[in-house]
Amino acid sequence: MTPRGWIVATGVAVCVLVVPLAFAPVLAQLNLIFMKVDLMAFGGGFTTIPLIQREVVDRFGWVSTREFIDGIALGQVTPGPIVITATFVGYKAGGLLGALLGTIAVFFPSFLVLTTLAPHYERIKGSRPIQLMVRGILAAFLGMLLLVGYRFGHEALGDWKTWGLMAAAWLALWRKVDLLLVVGVGAAISMLVF
């Protein structure tokens, strides 16, 4: 990254962390959490679900499990559907300013890492220790995703109708039915049956 880029990045970091710390400590804490989540997001957006849930639902209680599930569901209509949950949680914790800062915070660290390491990508990707590290991290995240799946199921699957809808959606996805069709039919059935 160029010196000018580092100056801009430092300015963004100050706006996201230092300014909220002075005026709204909850937002500074929220931003720090989302920056940490972004740094640990190996393997894509789904790997952030357990990290975000642990912090914003279990640890700080900014949203309930049900609200968290709803935020993820609403995020499916946006680009970066899982990570954009930071916007939803930021809004719940701090209104429009919280939504804006949460969104910036969740993308800022990966932007810095990407722009810093991009020139060295070819050398890094072939490194055996890096490959082993990434495999271990992804295995750990899979375990966390299974736990989150269990918690979401416990919250969302309350009766035989929801279990049936979940099984039908799973079967449709397994048979490679288009995802938008599965979601649309699931929404229509839930409005008619529930």
pLDDT digits (tens, 9 = 90+) for 146-181: 887 888 888 888 888 889 998 999 999 999 998 888
Domain boundaries in the chain? 3-156, 158-194
What pLDDT score does 44 carry?
Answer: 65
What pLDDT score does 1 carry?
Answer: 67
Query: Residues in the chain with pLDDT < 70?
Result: 1, 16-17, 19, 21-22, 41-45, 77, 79-82
What pLDDT score does 136 carry?
Answer: 87
What pLDDT score does 100 carry?
Answer: 85
Maximum distance among all alpha carbons in the chain? 59
Give residue 80's region: left, alpha or beta (phi > 0; psi -120 to 50). left
142 half-sphere exposure, CB direction, 13 A CA radius: 6
As a dihedral over the C-alpha atoms of residue 40, residue 142, residue 66, residue 176, rounded to 10 degrees, the angle is: 120
What pLDDT score does 174 carry?
Answer: 93
Separation between Cα atoms, residue 23 and residue 83, nearest integer Å? 25
Which residue's structure tokens are 């060295």? 120
